Amino acid sequence: MSIAIAETVKDIPRSGIRDFFEVVQTMGDVISLGIGEPDFATPWHIREAAIYSLEKGRTGYSSNLGLPRLRRAVADYVQAHFGVRYEALSEVLVSVGVSEAIDIALRALLNPGDEVLYHEPCYVSYAPSIVLAGGVARVIPTRSEDQFVLQATDLEKAITPRTKVLMLNYPTNPTGAVMPPEELARIAAVCVKHNLVVLTDEIYSELTYDGGTHHCIANLPGMQERTVLLHGVSKAFAMTGWRIGFVCAPVELIEAMMKIHQYAILCAPIMSQEAAIEALVRGEESMLKMRREYELRRNYIVRGLNDLGLECFKPHGAFYVFPKITSTGLSSREFSLRLLREKKVAVVPGSAFGASGEGHVRCSYATALDQIKIAVERIGEFCGELAAEKAEAA
């Protein structure tokens, strides 16, 4: 018997990253700039806090919304870092990573046919999550000339009477783009004018460089009541495997999300919640140390790639650079596959993050500097060989 898969699921394409991952898996010895997570292990004091809680036998369920201590820590952290106040016990929900939070937020918000706007290039899960929640995904491409910052004018043009939600992700995976406060204010004004809900994935908010600070859209006039703030400990505290995210939103939406969360997930793992408390309350120093390291690597890789003629703006956030590879004459997929086969360096084709990522590749600098150094050298050799090939053909 062949099992009939639901039409919505059938229609969702496989992630381009997964395809690529399978090619990389077949090869040994690859230097990977393709990894979207920190290369550091979780700081020891955070791991130790989890061990302590296990020793104490804290191994049961927690409240559906998450441990009250964690929710208080989240509310305090969000107030200190984002300048927005949320009621710890009613406006905060602890999720299994931001990924789950995106899913339950969309499911709690959308009626069939409601439109959700999102900017591209973007994280791979946005469009599928919208579709799985019964929504219609509407893309707004961003441009490298704008350093991939969503423009309020483009947003306004994309709005239709069915538009309900705008998804934002600054700093952005895969481009490293950061939203300047002036443009953010214009976007907020458009959202208020057209009565949009904003789902803002701010998972990279701590990782901003050059002394810049992160600006949270919930902080702008008229926004907190229409903002779903999504954040977590994965990137800033090198805790991807712990799977802890959190949502701050108005109480009625938290209640609605909680209904889905409690039936689908019940609660986030308690040992991870204990670790997250330690991270939020005492993790600042560890986070700053990792951020300093990322910033140095970013400087190294940006200059290295530009020196090779791969035009690359200096991203102010996250841990990705998104160089333009059109000068090589290859598509981003060809470039990535050939670089992998010929030089054993893995980067992710920009097209995996949406059509507007074509012509670019994503290089993650959450990789040790000695690896980055070899990778840049090999990319240099590769570009040299491509140029020679071209010259021969001409």
Partner 1 sequence: MEALIDLLQQNALTPREDIARMLDLTVAQVEAEITRLEQEGIILGYQTIINREKWDTDAVTAVIEVKITPERDGGFDRIAARIAKFEEVQTCYLMSGGYDLLIIVEAKSLRGVAGFVAEKLSTIEAVQATATHFRLKTYKENGAFHHFEHAPERLSVSP
DSSP per residue, 363-384: EE--S-HHHHHHHHHHHHHHHH
Please tell me whether residue 388 binds partner 1 under the rule CB under 8 A.
no
Q: Is the Cβ of residue 124 or residue 248 nearer to partner 1 in the bound state?
A: 124
Q: Is the Cβ of residue 30 or residue 192 nearer to partner 1 in the bound state?
A: 30
Q: How far is the CB of 353 from partner 1 (least distance, A)?
A: 9
Please tell me whether residue 25 binds partner 1 under the rule CB under 8 A.
yes
Query: Of 338, 329, 337, which is closest to residue 382 (Cα–Cα)?
Result: 338
Q: How far is the CB of 173 from partner 1 (least distance, A)?
A: 8
Paired with 200 in beta bridges are 168, 229
Q: Which of 8, 9, 11, 41: binder of partner 1 (CB under 8 A)?
A: 41
Q: How far is the CB of 356 from partner 1 (least distance, A)?
A: 17
Please tell me whether residue 300 binds partner 1 under the rule CB under 8 A.
yes
Residues 334-363 that bind partner 1 (CB under 8 A): 346, 348
Total residues binding partner 1 (CB under 8 A): 31
Looking at 14-22, 53-61, 145-153, 195-203, which segment touches partner 1 (CB under 8 A)? 14-22
Looking at 50-58, 88-96, 163-171, 289-297, which segment touches partner 1 (CB under 8 A)? 289-297
Q: How far is the CB of 86 from partner 1 (least distance, A)?
A: 28
Residues 127-186 that bind partner 1 (CB under 8 A): 173
Helices 332-343 and 369-393, packing angle to 10 deg: 110
Q: Give the integer Cα–Cα distance in Å for 43 and 47.
A: 7
At 283, list the tokens. 């993790």
Q: How far is the CB of 122 from partner 1 (least distance, A)?
A: 11
At 177, list the tokens. 């783009």
Residues 111-130 that bind partner 1 (CB under 8 A): 123-125
Looking at 80-88, 102-110, 146-154, 366-374, which segment touches partner 1 (CB under 8 A)? 366-374
Q: Give the integer Cα–Cα distance in Å for 363 and 320.
A: 6
Q: How far is the CB of 136 from partner 1 (least distance, A)?
A: 23
319 and 38 Cβ atoms separated by less than 8 Å: yes
β-pairing, 320-321 vs 136-141, is: unpaired
Residue entry with tokens 């999504």? 230
Please tell me whether residue 308 binds partner 1 under the rule CB under 8 A.
no
- Alpha-carbon separation of residue 236 from 37, 109, 157, 218, 231 (angstroms): 10, 28, 34, 20, 10
Looking at 32-40, 100-108, 139-147, 182-190, which segment touches partner 1 (CB under 8 A)? 32-40
Q: Which of 259, 292, 341, 390: binder of partner 1 (CB under 8 A)?
A: 292
Paired with 31 in beta bridges are 345
Please tell me whether residue 330 binds partner 1 under the rule CB under 8 A.
no
46 and 283 Cβ atoms separated by less than 8 Å: yes
220-251 burial code (b ≥16 CB/10 A, e <16): beebbebbbbbbbbbbbbbbbebbbbbbbbbe
Q: Give the integer Cα–Cα distance in Å for 61 and 225.
A: 30
Q: How far is the CB of 306 from partner 1 (least distance, A)?
A: 11
Compute CA 125 distance to the chain's CA centroid, rounded to the nearest angstrom: 9
Chain length of the chain: 394
Residues 202-221 that bind partner 1 (CB under 8 A): none
Q: How far is the CB of 368 from partner 1 (least distance, A)?
A: 8
Q: Is the Cβ of residue 215 or residue 360 nearer to partner 1 in the bound state?
A: 360
Looking at 84-92, 177-185, 245-253, 294-302, which segment touches partner 1 (CB under 8 A)? 294-302
Residue entry with tokens 């008229």? 222
Q: Which stretch of DSSP H or E encloses residue 136?
A: strand 136-141
Q: Is the Cβ of residue 72 or residue 373 nearer to partner 1 in the bound state?
A: 373
Q: Applying CB under 8 A, which residues contact partner 1?
A: 15, 17, 20-21, 24-25, 30, 32, 34-37, 39-41, 123-125, 173, 292, 296-297, 299-300, 303-304, 346, 348, 368-369, 373
